[in-house]
Structure 1
């Protein structure tokens, strides 16, 4: 029997498809539930919302998720959003899914990527 994780990490996503972000993060949190308690506290539709959402929701992690849409986050955009989040909360943990992963390999690849990346980020 596994012990229940004692710390809950608050996760904020930046995704222009918020319903899909919520669904995929739900799958990731289920995959990691025996190790981590992760609460998806909200989503930003664009970089313009990052500062206010980090201030309002006080997340521990910001994950820049990208989906199969016309506007995907480039590495430069990801870096800019990470910098904005760190201005508000310097200790925030940040992660960007590799650009184009959703398009190339689909949603299961996003879930697998985050299921592997988040434990490394939180270690």
Structure 2
């Protein structure tokens, strides 16, 4: 493992159902633990709570995931807030409605298919 993989990367989720966020993100983290050292550092249940949450976590989060319950416009707003609050943060939004269509397993499968590209994002 390289040193970049040893240094934990804090991840924040924005999901109105914190228990589901913890389960889905926890599954993804478990599945990639041999490649990435990711810690689910917090969840905001509101758009208004995103900036204060990001500012409260040390070291600052490196990744923000938006859940699929938000509209594309809300997801765009959440990601904009994240990038203004923490320049350089990686952000990703699950397609709107994915949870409703595919359940938690569908979201995990979706994120697993994109985690490498998210982690390489500049």
| 1:25 shift after superposition | 0.7
User: Which consecutive residues of structure 2, in runs of 5 or more, have no partner in the other structure?
Assistant: none
* TM-score (norm. length: structure 1): 0.89
Give SS of 2:55's match.
Answer: helix
- Give the alignment of 1:46-65 within 5 angstroms: 46-57=46-57, 58-65=60-67
- Give the alignment of 1:1-123 within 5 angstroms: 3=1, 5-57=5-57, 58-66=60-68, 72-123=69-120
Q: What does the per-residue CA deviation read over 1:10-29, in whole Å, with 9 as the maximum and x for residues that have no partner?
A: 10000000011001111000
* TM-score (norm. length: structure 2): 0.90
User: Which consecutive residues of structure 1, in runs of 5 or more, have no partner in the other structure?
Assistant: 67-71
| Alignment RMSD (CA, Å) | 1.2
| 1:89 shift after superposition | 0.8
Count of residue pairs the alignment pairs up: 116
